Amino acid sequence: MTQPELKELLEELYDRYNRPEFIEDDPISVPHRFTERADREIAGFFAATIAWGNRPSIVRNGHRMMLLMDNAPADFVRNASDRELDGLSTFAHRTFNGGDLRDFVVALRRIDERFGGIGAFFEQRYAALHDLRPVLAEFRREFFAAPHAPRCEKHLSSIERGAACKRLCMYLRWMVRRDDRGVDFGLWQGIPMSALYLPLDLHVGAMGRALGLLARRQNDWRAVEEITAELRKFHPEDPVRYDFSLFGAGIDGYLKNHE
């Protein structure tokens, strides 16, 4: 496939999947329930945190988390009593349990008190560093500066250890990307879309390799940088728009149809 043909395919799939109909069955439906910035930031963070495994299960459990937070995630993070925090103990999504959820709420409360919110942290640190890679490293350090059980650390990937940070990159796409399609929120306007990195998982990696966008075999941070650099050749200002395309190629059975 030539470069023009590949770009045409990517744009066709982008148009097909970056539309409001995409929202309902995707984890982004969880923050879409809310209108206030702080609610969307917090609901989005929790939905992204559990975004691995079966998509219907992710969506269902994302909404269940919001119910446990009285469908007011920002107020819950800021003001929940110890008794209310204990009420999170019934939650479980795969290996992310109620204790992890409680520790994550406490960590976000500390971020909110120190920086004014998750978005404020990312925008402030990006303004200082002009690179999301060290910002991701700083965020993880700040997050786990709050009291927590060591077991919960596995649920927030470490870029310093070479992880692909798929869920954090997806969350950043939700919060930073902006267009007229209505899927992503575009809340954090202090961060340019060109600074984003592709959310890379097993399926996106396989699709990237099939399309000649990725040579590296491991789905790690080096692979994220490689595939994002290739996508920037097609759209320098908004390379992560093609997250929709690679997801869509998987849904459309591209690999099966091109064996």
Predicted pLDDT at 259: 52
Number of structural domains the chain divides into: 1
**pLDDT per position as a tens digit, 190-244:** 999 999 999 999 989 999 999 999 999 999 999 999 999 999 999 999 999 999 9
**In terms of Cα–Cα distance, which of 8, 31, 12, 9 is closest to 182?**
31
CA-based radius of gyration for the chain: 18
Give the global pTM. Answer: 0.96
**In terms of Cα–Cα distance, which of 44, 59, 35 is closest to 122?**
44
Helices (H), the chain: 3-17, 37-49, 55-68, 73-79, 82-86, 98-115, 118-129, 132-143, 166-176, 202-210, 221-234, 243-251, 254-257
Tokens 């066709």 sit on residue: 12
Structural domain boundaries, residue 231: 3-257
**pLDDT per position as a tens digit, 20-55:** 999 999 999 999 999 999 999 999 999 999 999 889
Maximum Cα–Cα distance across the chain: 60
